[in-house]
Structure 1
Amino acid sequence: MGDSSVTPRLGSLKALLGIVAGAGASYGIYKLISRHSIKKNKKSVTSESAGDRISSQPSDSVMQPGSLLARVSGMQVICPQRSDASSEITHQSPSNMEPKHLKMLLLCLQSSNNTSERCKILLTLGNSAAFTSNQNLIRESDGIPIIAGFLCDPEPDVRVQTLNALNNLCMNIQNQEQLTVYVPQVLELIEMSQMNSDLQLSALRLLTNLSVTDKHQHLLKQSVTLLLSLLVVGSEALQVQALKVLVNLSSNPDMMDDIVQAQAPASVLLLFDAKTAQPVLLRLLTFAGNLKAWRPSSQVADELRRRRDCLFRVLLDESSQLHSKLVQLLSHPDGEVKAQ
């Protein structure tokens, strides 16, 4: 499972959450950005070496007679011809893709040295993956590991398009089985990326689709602390996306023990306010409603009360300020908010 690889990274967020709880979201942003800078420096060597490997591939010479592309096409293919072929395919309607088109795009993706070209190919593959037949064809062509390999691409735009393509491929039960192995890597991208970036949003969208059913939710049980921290430091768009994942997880009773034990910033309570954006507030109330439906034994409740920073203490304990916050929201001008 990916739990053991995710736990060390999430454990490093404990300092962040303690500071956010005591000093507010502004200092939490500083900690996230600081941590991102450190990790970015650590990753620079890996990114440079990956770039070296890519640039070492031939770009303007005739491909070797024994190469895969040469065998598939039945003739020697030079890169300009390959680029023209991929360009022609990317202009076709995604619904009209044939197996040969998808296979050619996957081949071009693997051999491309150009960031713009990789983005266009990934965009085309992602658009084509909106159709069930293409989702199956890409999987049967071993396209999922090929596409997922670009989660490590040094260019953020390429990683975003990779996540978007995987997100569409995820709308297929058989594809999800292959995609689960990349959950730790996707969580790492969320943790390392710049706050409120397209990269974080795309990664959260993928996790949202993976967590729609109960089958793979256990892979995210160690991510609750990360998701809660994004709520108090993220933009409205990021808050909504993080809450979609939290609502999915909290809808599963088997996940509740892990959720209520997760470390949580006390400042989550501040979001239960009339000033909070309605899309965020509605999902936050849905999440809280799922938590309230959980009924722990007195022994479990007593044990959780001894954990000062856990979500149970912040939102569910008798000492929590959530009840008074909810009473105030009964006078909210939005009817949906009051009903929720």
Structure 2
Amino acid sequence: MGDGNVISKFGNLKAFLGIVAGAGASYGIYKLVSGTSFKKNKSITSESSVPKVTHGSISSQPGSLLAKVSELDVVRAGGSKAVDFVQSSDMVFKSPGSLEPQHLKMLLSLLQTTPSPSDRVQILITLGNTAAFTVNQDLIHEFGGIHIIAGFLSDPVPEVRVQTLNALNNLSLNLRNQEELKVYVVKVLELIEMSPVNSDLQIAALRLLTNLSVTDKHHHMLRGSITLLLSLLVVSNHLLQIQVLKVLVNLSSNPEMMDDIVQAQAPASVVLLFDVRTSSTVLLRLLTFAGNLKAWRPSAQVAEALRRRQDCLYRVLLDDSSQLHSRLIQLLSHPDGELRAQVAWVLS
């Protein structure tokens, strides 16, 4: 069955999905800190996401393709302290009624031809959930699906962009796919900057960046994003703070990134997050980030040059004038034993 005549063959999207199922298968602080918009210019964390089904114009009846694929769970690897590393090889492979290759081809073809935003959302959810499994990650790659899906990062409908990011996120669990996905890093950063703070768009985009920063290979592409991430850290809720910190922890585990990190402009209020009132899940990752920074040892000449830069992260967290040390001492009395141990590690 050719891809080109999918719509004419089945008449409409609902008919197609029924047949397949029957076959069994912007915020102010960053602007003030940076003064410009983002342009081109080891503690490891990784993410998987399987979004819930949102009901659009496509039927999601029990036993249908969408019902089979959309309700799947991805097994996430838990980490000790602030380590959450999930590779595709660690995921439980459990076929959702085994979508066949032609079904994925049809979905990709329909994604490009349907005029309905709600239909695009549903197709992206289905593709994203199938992409939670290694065999489908490979098939979508072979069919050119990564670039097809990524084309909807610029869709005018926010929910379409969210589900595009979710699908790309699961595809990024495959290291081969990351080679194709790296070309979209700048676009993903632009989405983070331009989207409302704490929005689903920001969270989905940061999850994708988390996976792309699991290895050192693509860290250089995020050199210009440090100020953006630090600015988000002080204005967002704890859910977004966790996503931001996962990326920062990954980057700070790479010694070659340290110069860029410590020189980045940073809000002075970053140090205020080291507080007993901060969520423990945020604090653990924040302490891992701080520990990575403190392990860096600049020369006396470099340290002196950084001290002259009033607004850089070095002055905020690492300089002798920083409040960080006194705040860490206070955290030694935190009721969470794991957190106290992390504080002691940073102070050592």
TM-score past 0.5 threshold:
yes
Q: 1:106 touches 1:143 (CA, 8 Å); kept in 2?
A: yes
Q: How do 1:1-80 residues align onto structure 2 when only pairs under 5 Å count?
A: 69-70=4-5, 76-77=8-9, 79-80=11-12
Q: How do 1:147-162 residues align onto structure 2 when only pairs under 5 Å count?
A: 147-162=149-164
Of all paired residues, the percent bearing the same amino acid is 67
Name structure 2 gaps, 5 residues minimum. Answer: 22-63, 70-94, 343-348
Cα displacement string for residues 167-208 of structure 1 (whole angstroms, at most 9, x for unaligned residues): 000001110000000000000001001110101000000000
TM, length-normalised to structure 1: 0.77
Q: 2:206 aligns with which of 204, 207, 213?
A: 204
Q: 2:131 touches 2:171 (CA, 8 Å); kept in 1?
A: yes
Q: Give, in whole Å, the separation in 2 of the partners of 1:235 and 1:194.
A: 12
Q: 2:266 touches 2:316 (CA, 8 Å); kept in 1?
A: yes
Cα displacement string for residues 297-335 of structure 1 (whole angstroms, at most 9, x for unaligned residues): 011111111111000010001111101011111111111
C-alpha RMSD over aligned residues: 1.5
Give 1:97 shift: 1.1
Q: Give, in whole Å, the separation in 1 of the partners of 2:19 and 2:195.
A: 33
Structure number having the greater helix percentage? 1
Q: 2:10 touches 2:16 (CA, 8 Å); kept in 1?
A: no
Cα displacement string for residues 214-245 of structure 1 (whole angstroms, at most 9, x for unaligned residues): 11111111111011011100011000000000
Name structure 1 gaps, 5 residues minimum. Answer: 1-66
Counterpart of 1:224 in structure 2 is: 226
Look up the SS of the partner of 2:173 in the other structure.
Answer: coil
**Structure 1 counterpart of 2:110, one-letter code:** C
Counterpart of 2:102 in structure 1 is: 100
Q: Give, in whole Å, the separation in 1 of the partners of 2:131 and 2:3.
A: 24
Pairing 1:86–2:17 present = yes
Per the alignment, do residues 328 and 88 of structure 1 end up closer, same or farther by CA in structure 2, a change over 3 Å counting?
farther
Give 1:83 shift: 3.7
Counterpart of 1:56 in structure 2 is: none
Q: Give, in whole Å, the separation in 2 of the partners of 1:174 and 1:147.
A: 16
Look up the SS of the partner of 1:77 in the other structure.
Answer: helix
Q: Give, in whole Å, the separation in 2 of the partners of 1:148 and 1:336.
A: 40
Q: Give, in whole Å, the separation in 1 of the partners of 2:19 and 2:217.
A: 39
Counterpart of 2:247 in structure 1 is: 245
Per the alignment, do residues 89 and 125 of structure 1 end up closer, same or farther by CA in structure 2, a change over 3 Å counting?
farther
Q: Give, in whole Å, the separation in 1 of the partners of 2:194 and 2:18.
A: 33
Counterpart of 2:132 in structure 1 is: 130
Q: Say which is worse superposed, 261-270 or 113-122, in terms of deviation.
A: 113-122
Cα displacement string for residues 90-130 of structure 1 (whole angstroms, at most 9, x for unaligned residues): 73344211110000000000001111111111011001101
Cα displacement string for residues 125-161 of structure 1 (whole angstroms, at most 9, x for unaligned residues): 0011011110010011000010000001111111110
Counterpart of 2:303 in structure 1 is: 301
**Structure 2 counterpart of 1:69, one-letter code:** G
Q: Give, in whole Å, the separation in 1 of the partners of 2:262 and 2:177.
A: 31
Q: 2:122 aligns with which of 91, 114, 120?
A: 120
Counterpart of 2:190 in structure 1 is: 188
Q: 1:167 touches 1:209 (CA, 8 Å); kept in 2?
A: yes
> Which contiguous aligned blocks of 4+ residues in structure 1 show a shift greater than 2 angstroms?
75-80, 86-95
**Structure 2 counterpart of 1:101, one-letter code:** H
Counterpart of 1:256 in structure 2 is: 258
Look up the SS of the partner of 1:323 in the other structure.
Answer: helix
Q: 2:266 touches 2:313 (CA, 8 Å); kept in 1?
A: yes
Give 1:89 shift: 3.9
**Structure 1 counterpart of 2:135, one-letter code:** S
Counterpart of 1:142 in structure 2 is: 144
Q: 1:316 aligns with which of 315, 318, 329?
A: 318
Q: 1:109 touches 1:121 (CA, 8 Å); kept in 2?
A: yes
Q: Give, in whole Å, the separation in 1 of the partners of 2:250 and 2:317.
A: 18
Give 1:87 shift: 5.0
Q: Give, in whole Å, the separation in 2 of the partners of 1:284 and 1:89.
A: 47
Per the alignment, do residues 79 and 111 of structure 1 end up closer, same or farther by CA in structure 2, a change over 3 Å counting?
farther
**Structure 2 counterpart of 1:191, one-letter code:** E
Look up the SS of the partner of 1:69 in the other structure.
Answer: coil
**Structure 2 counterpart of 1:276, one-letter code:** T
